Structures are given as C-alpha cells and as structure tokens.
Structure 1
Amino acid sequence: MKTDDLMNLLATGATPVPRHAGERRFALALGLGLVGALAWVHLMYGVRSDLGEVWATSAFGVKLAMPLAVAVSGLAVVFRLAHPGARVRGWAWGLWLPVALLWAWAMWVLAQAAPGTRAALVLGETWRYCVFNVMATALPVGVALFWALRGLAPTRPMLTGAAAGWLAGAVGAVVYALHCPEMQAPFLAVWYVLGMAACALLGALAGRRWLRWSGAPAGAAGGGG
C-alpha cells in the first residue's frame, strides 16, 4: 500500500475535534473528582464542627495555601503534559515552591518552639492515619484525572501520571483539611506533603501502565519520566 493510500485510509471518517474539548474534559474530571472527594470526607470523616470559626483564621489560611497553590500550578502542568509538544515552562515551579515555603515556615516554627514541644508540633494527634486519609480523599480526583488524560495524548506517561497524582494529592489535601483538626505548620509540612508525594508515586506507576499509547514500544513507557 502506498503512503498516500494509507493516509487516506486513516483519515476516512475523521471528524474535527470540537474546540476546547480538552478544557471541557478536564473541567468535568475535576468537577466529578471534587464532588467525590467532598462526599468521601463528609461520609467517612465528617467536617470539623468548628469550621465556621476557624475558616477566616490565618492558621487555616496557611493550612490551605500550600495545597491550593500546588493544585493551581498542577492543573496547568498536567493539562500541558496531556498535549504533545506543549511546554510546561515556569508552571513547574508552582509544583514544589509552595512546599519549599511551607517547609521553611515549619522550620522557623520549630526553631522558635521549646525543645520539649517540637515532637508534638510534628506528630500532632493524627499522624498515624493522615497520609492514608489524604490519599483516600485524593482517589476520586486521581481516577477522574486519569479518565481525562486517557482521552488526550500524553507522550510522557510516567511524568504525566506523577503530575496528575501530585495534583490529585493537593486537591485531596485541601478537601481533607475540612475535617483535619491539625493546624501546625510542622505537621502539615511532613504528613500532608507525604500524602501528596505518595499520590504522585502511585500516579507515576499508574501512568506507566495506563497512559502509554497502545502503539508505543514497551520501553517508551518510562521515557521522559
């Protein structure tokens, strides 16, 4: 078969892709994932009873600032990775800079605290299950993002999966904060970040398996990650 004939055959029945189809797909995925995460927290943990009182406090603002900033940048990064040839550029800074700032703030808090209180600032009362709870809350978001990505064309599956997991973990951390009683920066800097990092690791592994193009060679799955 000649090349021209093959191209004509492949193009048979092709229709134009609707404008902004990718944006709508991501918006739907994030919307469904967020609803699932909120439902999970409401049904399994419950919203903290004093949320109305702490909502406007600076401590709660700091608690939400890191995952919210990561989520905004993460959405831009994941959307770009979902399109061949798109460049991440400066958005990648937003994936780790908020975490670095939180770590710096946590170190300052620990340095100012009495030595006998530092362990309590890091461990809080819920360290044993915080990481799991962040991951569980992020799961609906991660599943929805992978659904969106499988309808697009990521060329770096492990990297895209890791970024999607990091984004899902950030959204999960924001939603889980509606229940979590911990407010100290050292606790958040350790356990929230570990929960998000675990989501990123799982996302990378899932991306290697489920975001690879079906026609790509097996060795290409790990490329670019």
Structure 2
Amino acid sequence: MNTDDLIAALAADTLPQPGIAQRLVWSLPVALAVCVAAFVAFWGVRPDLGAALASLAVLKMILPVLLAGLAGAVAIALAHPVEMAGRRWAVLAVFAAVLVATFVFHLQRGGLSGLVEALSISSLWVCLTSVPALGLPFLAAILWSLSTGAVLRPRLAGAVAGLAAGGASAAIYAFYCDQDAALFVLPAYGTAILSVALAGAICGPRVLRW
C-alpha cells in the first residue's frame, strides 16, 4: 500500500458510520416484513382471533412484545460500554420474575398432571419450531445493528438480542396459536424464546467481535 492509499484508507475510517439506532430503524422493518410474509404464507391467523383479542389470551401477544422491548433496551446498553445497564437489567429481571411466579401459581393450581396434559399436544412442537423460525429475521437484524457498537461481552449481548428476537416472534406466532392455557403458554413460549436466546449467544461472539 502506497502513501496515497494509506491516507485514503485512514480518511475512510473517519467517515461517520450509522449508529445502532439508525441500523435498527433500517433493519427491524425489513425483519418484520419478512416475518409477517412467512407467517401469512405458512401459518395464518387463528379462526377465533376476534374472541381471543377480547379475552386474557391477548396477553400472549402483549407480554412477548414487552419482553422484546425490555431485552432490546438491555442489548443496546451492552453495545455502549459507557452506558450503565443496571436499571434496565433490573426491570427485565422483575418482568421475568413475574412470569415465573405466574407459572408457579398456575402449576400449583393445576398440578404436575395438569402441566403434562397441557403440554402433551402437537401444538407444543409447532410452537417450539415456529417461534425460533420466525425469530431468525429479528435476530439477524438486531445482531447486525449491534455490530456497529462496542460490545464488550458479545455472548451475553447476543443472548439478550435473542431474547428480544424471540419475544417479537412469539408475539407474531401468538396470532396463530389457539392454545391459551397458562400451563401451555408460559413453558412452551418460554422454551421457544430461550432457544432463540441460545442461538444469539452462539452467534454473538462471531458477529459482535470488534
């Protein structure tokens, strides 16, 4: 490389790069469009969607969106080393604790036999495969956006990004799923979302290195 090439390369490095927020603004709508297109093509909405939206079943759509937002906020903080993520972690932890407590409450009411009965249906495997499949576009979008930051703990950031992606995809999948029992939704959706988090933890060190 001659002097002119070196100067040009150094000058290129000083050009402003799109930040995380700007990349998210670009990539998340694309991920959402891909996810919705796949959902319409391969899943579709449940026949009684109107009735479901007017019942407690609507929480299947609302709670995953909240999870996506909370986890996404933590992931963004992890991409900025100078930014303190403690408060965001605390809110996410409280949210997770409420979900766990809700599951324990319903488990005490229904018992282990009720849990086994709720999960002994084909919808379980549909959920465990559909949520991760629908979450891949979101995971790719979030990891690509975070890669422009300075992530010090890429595996952790990838896992949290996976939580956000899994929450988003679970909310969309809920428009198809007609299983509304808490003993099905909490463990099935939770496991599916955690599988996306695992994928994020695996991909994080490869995508978020700097």
Structure 2 length normalisation: TM-score?
0.85
Change (3 A) 1:136 1:51: same
State the Cα distance separating 1:204 from its structure 2 match.
Answer: 0.9
Change (3 A) 1:166 1:116: closer
Number of the residue aligned with 2:15: 15
State the Cα distance separating 1:85 from its structure 2 match.
Answer: 2.0
State the Cα distance separating 1:182 from its structure 2 match.
Answer: 1.2
Instruction: Give the conservation status (yes or no) of the 8 Å contact 1:66–1:102.
Output: no
Deviation track 1:140-192 (CA, whole Å, cap 9, x = no partner) reads 11111122122333222111111111110111111110111111111122111
1:26 aligns with 2:27: no
Change (3 A) 1:189 1:140: same
Among 195, 205, 209, which residue is 1:208 paired with? 205
State the Cα distance separating 1:199 from its structure 2 match.
Answer: 0.8
Instruction: Give the conservation status (yes or no) of the 8 Å contact 2:147–2:208.
Output: yes
Runs of 4 or more, structure 1, over 6 Å off, are none
State the Cα distance separating 1:194 from its structure 2 match.
Answer: 0.7
Instruction: Give the conservation status (yes or no) of the 8 Å contact 2:78–2:157.
Output: yes
The amino acid across from 1:143 in the alignment is A
The amino acid across from 1:28 in the alignment is W
Number of the residue aligned with 1:218: none
Instruction: Give the conservation status (yes or no) of the 8 Å contact 2:144–2:207.
Output: no
Number of the residue aligned with 1:159: 156
| 1:18-167 superposed matches below 5 A | 21-57=19-55, 59-113=56-110, 117-167=114-164
1:185 aligns with 2:182: yes
| 1:193-204 superposed matches below 5 A | 193-204=190-201
SS of the residue 1:179 aligns to:
coil
Structure 1 length normalisation: TM-score?
0.80
Separation of aligned partners in 2, 1:99 and 1:123: 25
State the Cα distance separating 1:64 from its structure 2 match.
Answer: 2.6
SS of the residue 1:180 aligns to:
coil
State the Cα distance separating 1:73 from its structure 2 match.
Answer: 0.8
Deviation track 1:2-36 (CA, whole Å, cap 9, x = no partner) reads xxxxxx99853523457xx4322112222221222
Separation of aligned partners in 2, 1:145 and 1:41: 20
The amino acid across from 1:15 in the alignment is L
Among 162, 169, 172, which residue is 2:169 paired with? 172
The size of the alignment, in residue pairs, is: 203
**Stretches of structure 2 lacking an aligned partner (at least 5 in a row):** 1-6
Change (3 A) 1:104 1:123: farther
RMSD of aligned residue pairs (Cα, Å): 2.3
State the Cα distance separating 1:114 from its structure 2 match.
Answer: 7.1
Identity among equivalent positions (%) equals 30
The amino acid across from 1:112 in the alignment is R
The amino acid across from 2:27 in the alignment is A
Instruction: Give the conservation status (yes or no) of the 8 Å contact 2:52–2:58.
Output: no
Instruction: Give the conservation status (yes or no) of the 8 Å contact 1:74–1:163.
Output: yes
Number of the residue aligned with 1:222: none
